[in-house]
Amino acid sequence: MEFEVLNTLHKDGAFAGKDVFVFGHCNATEEMIDYLSGLSVNVVAILDNNKTKVGNLCKGVPIILPKYIDANGIVLIANRFYEQMAQQLRKIGCEGRIVKVLEYNSFAEYSLSQETVKRKTERMLRGKNTLENIKAKYSKEHLVVCPHNALGDVYWAMSFLPEYMAKHKIDDVTVIVNGDACKQVAEMFVDASCVLSLPNIEMEEFTQALIYCNEPNCIIAHHDKIYTDNSIKYLNSHFISFIDFYKYIVFGLDKTAESVAPRFHLPFKNTAGILQGKTLIISPNAKSVVLPPSEFWQKTIQEYKNKGFMVCTSVIESETPLENTIPISFPLNQAISAVEYAGHFMGIRNGLCDVINSAKCSKTVVFPDCIYSTTKIKVADFFALPDWFTIFTDTI
Protein backbone atom coordinates (compact mmCIF):
# COMPACT_ATOMS: atom_id res chain seq x y z
CA MET A 1 0.00 0.00 0.00
CA GLU A 2 1.41 3.39 -1.00
CA PHE A 3 1.47 6.29 1.48
CA GLU A 4 2.74 9.30 -0.48
CA VAL A 5 0.65 11.59 1.75
CA LEU A 6 2.53 10.41 4.82
CA ASN A 7 5.86 11.16 3.17
CA THR A 8 4.70 14.68 2.33
CA LEU A 9 3.38 15.30 5.85
CA HIS A 10 6.66 14.09 7.35
CA LYS A 11 8.74 16.21 4.98
CA ASP A 12 6.64 19.29 5.81
CA GLY A 13 7.04 18.73 9.56
CA ALA A 14 3.33 18.14 10.13
CA PHE A 15 3.99 15.50 12.80
CA ALA A 16 6.47 17.58 14.81
CA GLY A 17 5.20 18.20 18.34
CA LYS A 18 1.83 16.58 17.57
CA ASP A 19 0.08 13.55 18.97
CA VAL A 20 -0.61 11.31 15.98
CA PHE A 21 -3.82 9.26 15.84
CA VAL A 22 -5.23 6.91 13.22
CA PHE A 23 -9.00 6.46 12.94
CA GLY A 24 -10.53 3.03 12.38
CA HIS A 25 -8.80 -0.28 13.07
CA CYS A 26 -8.23 -2.14 9.81
CA ASN A 27 -5.42 -3.50 7.65
CA ALA A 28 -4.66 -0.07 6.19
CA THR A 29 -4.36 1.32 9.72
CA GLU A 30 -1.85 -1.35 10.70
CA GLU A 31 0.19 -0.68 7.57
CA MET A 32 0.14 3.04 8.38
CA ILE A 33 1.49 2.37 11.87
CA ASP A 34 4.35 0.30 10.42
CA TYR A 35 5.07 2.91 7.77
CA LEU A 36 5.08 5.78 10.27
CA SER A 37 7.38 3.79 12.54
CA GLY A 38 9.84 3.67 9.66
CA LEU A 39 9.67 7.47 9.59
CA SER A 40 10.31 7.55 13.37
CA VAL A 41 6.75 8.75 13.96
CA ASN A 42 4.90 7.03 16.81
CA VAL A 43 1.12 6.66 16.77
CA VAL A 44 -0.41 7.54 20.14
CA ALA A 45 -3.66 5.61 19.68
CA ILE A 46 -6.08 4.04 17.23
CA LEU A 47 -9.54 5.62 17.35
CA ASP A 48 -12.42 3.20 16.82
CA ASN A 49 -16.18 3.30 17.47
CA ASN A 50 -16.34 -0.47 17.98
CA LYS A 51 -16.42 -0.85 21.77
CA THR A 52 -15.44 -4.54 21.54
CA LYS A 53 -12.05 -3.48 20.16
CA VAL A 54 -11.47 -0.72 22.72
CA GLY A 55 -8.86 -1.61 25.32
CA ASN A 56 -6.94 -3.93 23.02
CA LEU A 57 -3.50 -3.26 21.62
CA CYS A 58 -2.64 -3.39 17.92
CA LYS A 59 1.09 -3.36 17.16
CA GLY A 60 1.56 -2.02 20.67
CA VAL A 61 -0.84 0.88 20.08
CA PRO A 62 -3.96 1.15 22.28
CA ILE A 63 -7.42 1.24 20.68
CA ILE A 64 -9.60 3.96 22.24
CA LEU A 65 -12.93 5.64 21.63
CA PRO A 66 -12.74 8.82 19.51
CA LYS A 67 -14.07 10.96 22.36
CA TYR A 68 -10.74 10.61 24.18
CA ILE A 69 -8.71 12.24 21.40
CA ASP A 70 -6.35 15.12 22.07
CA ALA A 71 -8.19 18.14 20.67
CA ASN A 72 -5.08 19.40 18.83
CA GLY A 73 -3.71 16.09 17.60
CA ILE A 74 -3.38 15.11 13.95
CA VAL A 75 -5.71 12.32 12.78
CA LEU A 76 -4.98 10.09 9.79
CA ILE A 77 -7.86 8.31 8.04
CA ALA A 78 -7.72 5.61 5.35
CA ASN A 79 -11.37 4.70 4.95
CA ARG A 80 -14.18 5.11 2.44
CA PHE A 81 -16.22 6.86 5.16
CA TYR A 82 -13.67 9.65 5.54
CA GLU A 83 -16.24 12.46 5.35
CA GLN A 84 -18.45 11.01 8.07
CA MET A 85 -15.48 10.17 10.29
CA ALA A 86 -14.03 13.67 9.95
CA GLN A 87 -17.44 15.17 10.74
CA GLN A 88 -17.70 13.03 13.88
CA LEU A 89 -14.30 14.25 15.08
CA ARG A 90 -15.25 17.90 14.59
CA LYS A 91 -18.49 17.40 16.50
CA ILE A 92 -16.66 16.00 19.54
CA GLY A 93 -14.26 18.94 19.60
CA CYS A 94 -11.26 17.85 17.53
CA GLU A 95 -9.60 21.08 16.36
CA GLY A 96 -6.46 19.55 14.91
CA ARG A 97 -5.65 18.51 11.38
CA ILE A 98 -7.62 15.59 9.87
CA VAL A 99 -5.96 14.00 6.84
CA LYS A 100 -7.32 11.63 4.20
CA VAL A 101 -4.30 9.40 3.66
CA LEU A 102 -5.49 7.40 0.66
CA GLU A 103 -8.60 6.08 -1.05
CA TYR A 104 -8.78 2.86 0.94
CA ASN A 105 -11.72 1.80 -1.20
CA SER A 106 -11.61 4.10 -4.20
CA PHE A 107 -14.85 2.60 -5.53
CA ALA A 108 -16.96 4.54 -3.09
CA GLU A 109 -16.72 8.22 -2.24
CA TYR A 110 -19.64 9.90 -0.56
CA SER A 111 -19.66 13.32 -2.21
CA LEU A 112 -21.68 14.99 -4.98
CA SER A 113 -19.17 17.69 -5.82
CA GLN A 114 -18.59 18.36 -9.52
CA GLU A 115 -14.96 17.31 -9.17
CA THR A 116 -15.96 13.97 -7.63
CA VAL A 117 -18.62 13.27 -10.25
CA LYS A 118 -16.10 14.09 -13.01
CA ARG A 119 -13.45 11.77 -11.55
CA LYS A 120 -15.89 8.92 -10.97
CA THR A 121 -17.26 9.24 -14.50
CA GLU A 122 -13.75 9.02 -15.90
CA ARG A 123 -13.14 5.96 -13.74
CA MET A 124 -16.28 4.30 -15.01
CA LEU A 125 -15.25 4.93 -18.62
CA ARG A 126 -11.82 3.39 -17.99
CA GLY A 127 -13.56 0.43 -16.38
CA LYS A 128 -15.89 0.13 -19.35
CA ASN A 129 -12.88 -0.04 -21.65
CA THR A 130 -11.45 -2.88 -19.52
CA LEU A 131 -14.82 -4.65 -19.64
CA GLU A 132 -14.99 -4.37 -23.43
CA ASN A 133 -11.46 -5.75 -23.80
CA ILE A 134 -12.24 -8.71 -21.52
CA LYS A 135 -15.51 -9.46 -23.30
CA ALA A 136 -13.71 -9.39 -26.65
CA LYS A 137 -11.18 -11.96 -25.41
CA TYR A 138 -13.62 -14.11 -23.42
CA SER A 139 -16.73 -13.69 -25.53
CA LYS A 140 -18.36 -17.02 -24.68
CA GLU A 141 -17.41 -17.33 -21.02
CA HIS A 142 -19.52 -16.29 -18.04
CA LEU A 143 -17.54 -13.78 -15.95
CA VAL A 144 -17.13 -14.59 -12.25
CA VAL A 145 -15.70 -11.50 -10.55
CA CYS A 146 -14.08 -11.66 -7.11
CA PRO A 147 -13.39 -7.94 -6.55
CA HIS A 148 -11.52 -7.92 -3.24
CA ASN A 149 -7.98 -9.02 -2.50
CA ALA A 150 -9.00 -11.54 0.15
CA LEU A 151 -8.05 -15.22 0.05
CA GLY A 152 -11.03 -16.53 2.01
CA ASP A 153 -13.54 -14.69 -0.16
CA VAL A 154 -12.07 -16.19 -3.31
CA TYR A 155 -11.83 -19.64 -1.72
CA TRP A 156 -15.53 -19.89 -0.87
CA ALA A 157 -16.62 -18.27 -4.13
CA MET A 158 -14.69 -20.95 -6.00
CA SER A 159 -15.92 -23.66 -3.64
CA PHE A 160 -19.57 -23.03 -4.53
CA LEU A 161 -18.93 -22.13 -8.19
CA PRO A 162 -19.64 -25.64 -9.59
CA GLU A 163 -23.11 -25.68 -8.02
CA TYR A 164 -23.81 -22.18 -9.37
CA MET A 165 -22.71 -23.27 -12.86
CA ALA A 166 -24.90 -26.36 -12.71
CA LYS A 167 -27.93 -24.38 -11.53
CA HIS A 168 -27.65 -21.89 -14.39
CA LYS A 169 -26.41 -24.41 -17.00
CA ILE A 170 -23.13 -22.53 -17.50
CA ASP A 171 -20.44 -24.45 -19.36
CA ASP A 172 -17.46 -22.10 -19.28
CA VAL A 173 -16.34 -19.33 -16.96
CA THR A 174 -13.54 -16.82 -16.67
CA VAL A 175 -12.72 -16.00 -13.06
CA ILE A 176 -11.44 -12.46 -12.54
CA VAL A 177 -9.64 -11.78 -9.27
CA ASN A 178 -7.75 -9.01 -7.50
CA GLY A 179 -4.01 -9.73 -7.28
CA ASP A 180 -1.65 -12.67 -7.66
CA ALA A 181 -2.38 -14.36 -4.32
CA CYS A 182 -6.10 -14.57 -5.12
CA LYS A 183 -5.20 -15.89 -8.57
CA GLN A 184 -3.28 -18.71 -6.91
CA VAL A 185 -6.33 -19.60 -4.81
CA ALA A 186 -8.66 -19.61 -7.84
CA GLU A 187 -6.22 -21.84 -9.72
CA MET A 188 -6.57 -24.46 -6.98
CA PHE A 189 -10.14 -24.99 -8.27
CA VAL A 190 -10.07 -24.30 -12.03
CA ASP A 191 -7.51 -24.44 -14.82
CA ALA A 192 -5.08 -21.49 -14.81
CA SER A 193 -6.23 -20.52 -18.31
CA CYS A 194 -9.64 -19.67 -16.83
CA VAL A 195 -8.29 -17.15 -14.30
CA LEU A 196 -7.47 -13.50 -14.93
CA SER A 197 -5.90 -11.17 -12.35
CA LEU A 198 -6.37 -7.39 -12.31
CA PRO A 199 -4.50 -4.87 -10.13
CA ASN A 200 -6.62 -3.27 -7.40
CA ILE A 201 -7.50 0.08 -9.01
CA GLU A 202 -8.25 -1.50 -12.39
CA MET A 203 -10.44 -4.07 -10.64
CA GLU A 204 -12.45 -1.38 -8.88
CA GLU A 205 -12.94 0.55 -12.12
CA PHE A 206 -13.90 -2.68 -13.91
CA THR A 207 -16.41 -3.61 -11.18
CA GLN A 208 -17.91 -0.15 -11.32
CA ALA A 209 -18.40 -0.55 -15.08
CA LEU A 210 -20.07 -3.94 -14.61
CA ILE A 211 -22.66 -2.33 -12.37
CA TYR A 212 -23.21 0.85 -14.40
CA CYS A 213 -23.49 -1.11 -17.64
CA ASN A 214 -25.71 -3.73 -15.99
CA GLU A 215 -23.57 -6.45 -17.55
CA PRO A 216 -25.79 -9.57 -17.78
CA ASN A 217 -23.14 -12.23 -18.37
CA CYS A 218 -21.44 -12.03 -14.98
CA ILE A 219 -21.73 -12.40 -11.24
CA ILE A 220 -19.91 -10.27 -8.66
CA ALA A 221 -19.05 -13.05 -6.23
CA HIS A 222 -18.47 -11.31 -2.93
CA HIS A 223 -20.25 -11.50 0.42
CA ASP A 224 -20.18 -7.78 1.26
CA LYS A 225 -21.41 -6.07 -1.89
CA ILE A 226 -21.91 -2.73 -0.20
CA TYR A 227 -21.74 -0.97 -3.53
CA THR A 228 -24.66 -2.89 -5.04
CA ASP A 229 -27.31 -4.44 -2.81
CA ASN A 230 -26.08 -3.83 0.76
CA SER A 231 -26.77 -7.48 1.50
CA ILE A 232 -24.54 -7.33 4.56
CA LYS A 233 -27.41 -5.52 6.29
CA TYR A 234 -29.24 -8.86 6.28
CA LEU A 235 -27.08 -9.73 9.27
CA ASN A 236 -28.71 -7.00 11.33
CA SER A 237 -31.89 -9.06 11.59
CA HIS A 238 -30.87 -12.62 10.66
CA PHE A 239 -27.84 -14.74 11.40
CA ILE A 240 -26.01 -16.46 8.58
CA SER A 241 -22.40 -17.59 8.55
CA PHE A 242 -19.69 -16.35 6.21
CA ILE A 243 -19.68 -19.69 4.35
CA ASP A 244 -23.46 -19.85 4.04
CA PHE A 245 -23.51 -16.23 2.86
CA TYR A 246 -21.76 -17.40 -0.30
CA LYS A 247 -24.01 -20.41 -0.64
CA TYR A 248 -27.39 -18.76 -0.17
CA ILE A 249 -26.99 -15.03 -0.82
CA VAL A 250 -24.07 -14.61 -3.24
CA PHE A 251 -24.91 -17.60 -5.44
CA GLY A 252 -28.59 -18.12 -4.57
CA LEU A 253 -28.21 -21.86 -3.99
CA ASP A 254 -30.46 -24.08 -1.88
CA LYS A 255 -29.64 -26.21 1.16
CA THR A 256 -28.79 -29.25 -0.98
CA ALA A 257 -25.84 -27.46 -2.60
CA GLU A 258 -22.42 -28.69 -1.52
CA SER A 259 -19.09 -26.92 -1.54
CA VAL A 260 -16.11 -28.57 -3.23
CA ALA A 261 -12.52 -28.83 -2.05
CA PRO A 262 -9.61 -27.62 -4.20
CA ARG A 263 -8.74 -30.00 -7.03
CA PHE A 264 -5.27 -28.72 -7.83
CA HIS A 265 -2.69 -28.54 -5.07
CA LEU A 266 0.95 -29.59 -5.19
CA PRO A 267 3.10 -31.75 -2.91
CA PHE A 268 4.93 -29.86 -0.18
CA LYS A 269 8.60 -29.12 -0.85
CA ASN A 270 10.15 -29.35 2.61
CA THR A 271 13.01 -26.91 2.06
CA ALA A 272 12.89 -25.78 5.70
CA GLY A 273 13.44 -29.31 6.97
CA ILE A 274 10.40 -29.41 9.27
CA LEU A 275 9.50 -32.55 11.23
CA GLN A 276 6.75 -34.61 9.64
CA GLY A 277 3.76 -34.89 11.97
CA LYS A 278 5.63 -33.10 14.73
CA THR A 279 5.58 -29.46 13.58
CA LEU A 280 3.18 -26.66 14.47
CA ILE A 281 2.75 -24.03 11.76
CA ILE A 282 1.41 -20.75 13.15
CA SER A 283 -0.28 -18.07 11.04
CA PRO A 284 -0.44 -15.05 13.39
CA ASN A 285 -1.47 -12.23 11.04
CA ALA A 286 -4.86 -11.09 9.76
CA LYS A 287 -6.16 -8.08 7.86
CA SER A 288 -9.03 -6.81 9.94
CA VAL A 289 -9.26 -8.42 13.36
CA VAL A 290 -7.59 -7.55 16.64
CA LEU A 291 -4.49 -9.71 17.02
CA PRO A 292 -3.72 -11.67 20.22
CA PRO A 293 -0.98 -10.32 22.49
CA SER A 294 2.51 -11.69 21.92
CA GLU A 295 2.28 -13.40 25.33
CA PHE A 296 -0.43 -15.68 23.96
CA TRP A 297 1.75 -16.87 21.10
CA GLN A 298 4.83 -17.28 23.29
CA LYS A 299 2.87 -19.41 25.76
CA THR A 300 1.59 -21.57 22.90
CA ILE A 301 5.04 -21.89 21.36
CA GLN A 302 6.59 -23.01 24.64
CA GLU A 303 3.82 -25.55 25.28
CA TYR A 304 4.40 -27.19 21.90
CA LYS A 305 8.18 -27.11 22.24
CA ASN A 306 7.89 -28.81 25.62
CA LYS A 307 6.10 -31.65 23.80
CA GLY A 308 8.96 -32.00 21.34
CA PHE A 309 7.41 -30.06 18.48
CA MET A 310 9.18 -27.85 15.97
CA VAL A 311 7.31 -24.53 15.77
CA CYS A 312 7.24 -22.41 12.62
CA THR A 313 5.66 -19.10 11.63
CA SER A 314 4.10 -18.88 8.19
CA VAL A 315 5.51 -15.67 6.69
CA ILE A 316 4.97 -13.80 3.44
CA GLU A 317 7.62 -11.56 1.88
CA SER A 318 9.03 -9.23 4.58
CA GLU A 319 6.86 -10.46 7.48
CA THR A 320 8.72 -11.13 10.72
CA PRO A 321 8.28 -14.57 12.32
CA LEU A 322 7.15 -14.90 15.90
CA GLU A 323 9.98 -14.95 18.41
CA ASN A 324 11.37 -18.44 19.10
CA THR A 325 9.98 -19.87 15.85
CA ILE A 326 11.38 -20.81 12.46
CA PRO A 327 10.08 -18.85 9.45
CA ILE A 328 8.48 -20.95 6.75
CA SER A 329 7.10 -19.92 3.36
CA PHE A 330 5.29 -21.95 0.73
CA PRO A 331 3.17 -21.22 -2.35
CA LEU A 332 -0.55 -21.29 -1.70
CA ASN A 333 -0.93 -24.33 -3.94
CA GLN A 334 1.32 -26.19 -1.46
CA ALA A 335 -0.47 -24.93 1.65
CA ILE A 336 -2.72 -27.97 2.12
CA SER A 337 0.10 -30.47 1.72
CA ALA A 338 2.39 -28.30 3.90
CA VAL A 339 0.10 -28.36 6.94
CA GLU A 340 -0.72 -32.02 6.38
CA TYR A 341 3.01 -32.80 6.40
CA ALA A 342 3.53 -30.67 9.53
CA GLY A 343 0.54 -32.30 11.20
CA HIS A 344 -0.54 -29.24 13.18
CA PHE A 345 -1.74 -25.74 12.25
CA MET A 346 -2.85 -22.81 14.40
CA GLY A 347 -3.89 -19.44 13.04
CA ILE A 348 -5.69 -16.25 13.85
CA ARG A 349 -8.85 -16.29 11.69
CA ASN A 350 -7.52 -15.27 8.29
CA GLY A 351 -7.65 -16.28 4.64
CA LEU A 352 -5.04 -19.01 5.01
CA CYS A 353 -7.44 -20.82 7.34
CA ASP A 354 -9.92 -20.98 4.46
CA VAL A 355 -7.29 -22.12 1.97
CA ILE A 356 -6.32 -25.11 4.14
CA ASN A 357 -9.86 -25.85 5.30
CA SER A 358 -9.90 -29.27 3.62
CA ALA A 359 -6.49 -30.32 4.99
CA LYS A 360 -6.40 -33.52 7.03
CA CYS A 361 -4.45 -32.48 10.12
CA SER A 362 -4.92 -30.89 13.55
CA LYS A 363 -6.35 -27.40 12.88
CA THR A 364 -6.91 -24.71 15.51
CA VAL A 365 -8.40 -21.29 14.81
CA VAL A 366 -7.91 -18.33 17.16
CA PHE A 367 -10.70 -15.77 17.40
CA PRO A 368 -10.68 -12.30 19.00
CA ASP A 369 -13.64 -11.20 21.08
CA CYS A 370 -15.07 -8.55 18.76
CA ILE A 371 -18.02 -7.77 16.51
CA TYR A 372 -18.06 -8.27 12.74
CA SER A 373 -18.25 -5.10 10.62
CA THR A 374 -21.37 -3.01 11.36
CA THR A 375 -23.39 -5.99 12.61
CA LYS A 376 -24.13 -7.20 16.13
CA ILE A 377 -22.65 -10.63 15.38
CA LYS A 378 -19.44 -11.91 16.92
CA VAL A 379 -16.55 -12.47 14.53
CA ALA A 380 -16.23 -15.99 15.95
CA ASP A 381 -19.83 -16.79 15.00
CA PHE A 382 -19.80 -15.26 11.53
CA PHE A 383 -16.43 -16.71 10.49
CA ALA A 384 -16.80 -20.05 12.27
CA LEU A 385 -15.02 -23.02 10.70
CA PRO A 386 -16.79 -26.36 11.18
CA ASP A 387 -14.63 -29.21 12.48
CA TRP A 388 -11.86 -26.89 13.71
CA PHE A 389 -10.77 -26.62 17.33
CA THR A 390 -11.47 -23.04 18.45
CA ILE A 391 -9.66 -20.81 20.93
CA PHE A 392 -11.01 -17.44 22.07
CA THR A 393 -8.37 -14.89 23.04
CA ASP A 394 -10.57 -13.40 25.76
CA THR A 395 -10.46 -16.69 27.68
CA ILE A 396 -6.66 -16.93 27.71
What's the pLDDT at 167?
Answer: 97
> How does the average pLDDT of the chain come out, rounded?
88
What's the pLDDT at 329?
Answer: 95
Which one, of 201, 286, 294, 367, lies nearest residue 27 by Cα? Answer: 286
- Residue 273's CB is within 10 A of a number of other CB atoms, namely 9
For residues 374 and 394, what is the distance between their CA atoms, to the nearest angstrom? Answer: 21
Q: What residues in the chain have per-residue pLDDT under 50? A: 1, 104, 226-228, 395-396
What's the pLDDT at 394?
Answer: 58
Find out whether 169 and 142 touch, Cβ atoms under 8 Å: no
For residues 49 and 67, what is the distance between their CA atoms, to the nearest angstrom? Answer: 9
What's the pLDDT at 373?
Answer: 65
What's the pLDDT at 70?
Answer: 78
Letter string b/e over residues 212-246, b meaning 16 or more CB atoms within 10 A of that residue's CB: eeebeebbbbbbbbbbeeebbeebeeeebbbbbbb
Please tell me whether the overall predicted TM-score, pTM, comes out greater than 0.75 for this model.
Answer: yes
What's the pLDDT at 288?
Answer: 63
CB-hemisphere CA count at 13 Å for 319?
17
